[in-house]
Structure 1
Amino acid sequence: MIIKFFGTRGSIPVCESGFQEFGGNTTCVAVMDDSKKGDILIFDAGTGIRKLGKELMQRAFNPEDKIVMAFSHFHWDHIQGFPFFGPAYDASKNIDIIAMGADLDITNLKSIFSHQMESTYFPVNLDNMGANFRFHLKKTNEEVFKDGSTGRLLSNAHSHPGGAHGYRLEVNGKIFVYCTDIEHGDSLDEKVIDFAKDADVLIHEAQYTPEELPKYRGWGHSSWEQAIEVAKLAGVKKLYMTHHDPEHNDDFIRAEEKKCQAIFRNCFFAREGDEIKI
């Protein structure tokens, strides 16, 4: 399993100099097998998905191969790259879009994407993009699959304005957990700790420093201190922190990363282009 970051910024993209080492594009993470062939699983479609799309357009796809896009939630910074995803305009591509969670209150998943592509906002509407889209609203917290390997995808609801879900991918004994846009509150969310239990890799958002966090209560985000505590309590092997605040430049994040690694050695602030092999 290979996990690759295409977008690591939270809230809004940043393009100034001094913000490029860790990345200026909003959230997008891709998961593929070691051969980089076959199906691909994408978490969220922030502006980073544009670069992912360019890579995928250079890749050979078999007719049965799917692109699966799973969404933590639908705030703007997690969907704003979707209209610029190249494979979405290719009639040979099959794209499954899923939202997963027993407590989801969404009634029409397709409408979320079609509304943002109405003529007021974008010149091409969803039905004219070209790819073969299928929308799956899964009112379940677990999906078992068999496709050359056996595994399962689980979801977990956590605190964020409007709601959000984390995902846990288990394939052939390997565990990857994706948990972004979460506010733990005064104490850590025990469900999140259990959800991340024994993960080989945990991606956990860490938009704020511990000093900043009290100023932003109710905004729906975490500190790096909380992310590290989740990783330690869950027995996580490697932690990548993401959803970098748009006010945090490379020098700032690099300095915070050193503080974090002094506490939990196998932790990193995610950089766009980082690849993790499990």
Structure 2
Amino acid sequence: MIITFYGTRGSTPVCESGFQEFGGNTTCVMVSGGQEGESVLVFDAGTGIRKLGKELITKKFSPGNKIYLTFSHFHWDHIQGFPFFAPAYDSTKEIEFFIIGDDAPDLHDFKEILAKQMESTYFPIGIDDMGANFTFTVNKGDKVIFDGGQIIVNKHTHPGGAYGYRLEAEGKVFVYCTDIEHGDALDPSVVDFCKNADVLIHDAQYTPEELPNHKGWGHSSWEQAIEVAKLANVKQLFLTHHDPDHDDEFLRKMEKECQQRFSNCFLAREGQVVEI
């Protein structure tokens, strides 16, 4: 299982100098098995998906394989890159959009969420004119079989709701848990959801000092993320959804402080590849 970060920034992209080491693109993560022609699984379509698309446009998928694209939720920083995703304009590409959850929107509403930002007022090309072969799948419940393994979801606290994803395959566990607000105490369902993960990606937009001033904003502190990792017996922790006001110098200092608390903890960097 190979995990690649294409977008690690939260809220809004940043392109200023001093924000290059950790990256300025909003959330996008790809999971693959490393084999030529196989399907890939993409979490979220922030602006980081543009670079991913440039790489995938040259990839020739084997028959029956495709790009799977799913979403933690539909806030703008998690969908705004989709109109610039090159494979979506390629008639040879198969893209399946899917979501899981008891309160997931129906198929029509799911498609409309992506289509609305591509209405003529906002974008010159509509979703139905992009060219790739799209399918939309809504899975009610909290679990689906996926590519020889399974994906389990857990709804957590975030304005409008958001879901964490747990991918279990070939004896390995990867958990993607961004845009989560624990509150004054850790959410025990999240700790349980992350149990024994080989890799956990967890929201850490704020420092412990910043967190009290951002109640209700839907995010965690690095301290909370580390506590989740410790209680859940996580092997590797990657902190993401970096605040747009936190530059590289700030994040480097933050990473050192985090590693004093949990040695196998890293702040996610755009372009970083992690293999389980």
Alpha-carbon distance between aligned partners in 2 of 1:35 and 1:23, rounded to the nearest angstrom: 27
Matched, 1:59 2:55: no
Paired residue secondary structure (2:154): strand
Q: Which amino acid aligns with 1:157?
A: K
**Aligned positions of 1:103-252 closer than 5 A:** 103-105=103-105, 108-145=109-146, 147=147, 150-252=148-250
- Whether the aligned pair in 2 keeps the contact of 1:180 and 1:243 (CA below 8 Å) is yes
The 4+ residue runs of structure 1 with deviation greater than 2 A are 34-37, 103-107
96-105 vs 1-10, greater mean Cα deviation: 96-105
In structure 1, distance between residues paired with 2:71 and 2:268: 19
The SS at the match of 1:80 is coil
> TM-score normalised to the size of structure 1?
0.97
In the alignment, the residues of structure 2 paired with residue 225 and residue 152 of structure 1 have an alpha-carbon distance, to the nearest angstrom, of 29
CA distance in 1, matches of 2:82, 2:18: 26
Per-residue Cα deviation, 1:56-107 (whole angstroms, up to 9, x for no partner): 1122222321100010000000000000000000001110111211133556
- Partners in 2 of 1:265 and 1:234 — Cα distance? 15
Alignment check: 8 A CA contact 1:208 1:224 kept:
yes
1:36, CA displacement in angstroms? 5.1
Describe the shift of the 1:251–1:242 C-alpha distance in structure 2 as closer, same or farther (beyond 3 A).
same
Mapped partners of 2:58, 2:96: distance in 1: 20
- Deviation string 1:174-217 (CA, Å, 9 cap, x unpaired) is 00000000000010000100000000000001000000000000
Identity %: 65
Q: Any idea what SS the aligned residue of 1:97 has?
A: strand
CA distance in 1, matches of 2:37, 2:171: 20
2-structure distance, mates of 1:121, 1:99 = 25
With 39-48 and 131-140 compared, the bigger mean Cα shift is at 131-140
TM, length-normalised to structure 2 = 0.98
Q: 1:138 to 1:19 in 2, by over 3 A?
A: same
* Aligned mates of 1:197, 1:37 — CA distance in 2: 32
Return the letter of the residue paired with 2:39. D
Other-structure match for 1:273 = 271
C-alpha distance in 1 between matches for 2:58 and 2:116:
29
Residue by residue over 1:236-260, the C-alpha shift from the partner in whole angstroms, topping out at 9 and shown as x without a partner, is: 0000000000000000000000000
Structure 1 residues 260 and 36: CA distance shift in structure 2, 3 A: farther
Q: 1:103 & 1:112 partners in 2: Cα distance?
A: 15
Aligned partners of 1:49, 1:85: CA distance in 2, in Å? 6
- Using the alignment, how far apart are the partners of 2:250 and 2:106 within structure 1? 38
Mapped partners of 1:49, 1:37: distance in 2: 19
Distance 2:181 2:130 in 1: 36
Is the CA contact 1:100–1:137 (under 8 Å) kept in the aligned structure 2?
yes
Flag the 1:171–1:23 CA change in 2: closer, same or farther, 3 A. same
Q: In structure 2, how many angstroms separate the alpha carbons of the residues matched to 1:93 and 1:14?
A: 30
Alignment of 1:80-95 (within 5 A): 80-95=80-95
1:20 aligns to 2:20 (yes or no):
yes
Total equivalences in the alignment:
275
User: d(CA) in 2 for partners of 1:131 and 1:105?
Assistant: 23
> Counterpart of 2:21 in 1: which secondary structure?
coil
CA RMSD of aligned residues (A): 1.0
Secondary structure of the corresponding residue to residue 50 of structure 2: helix
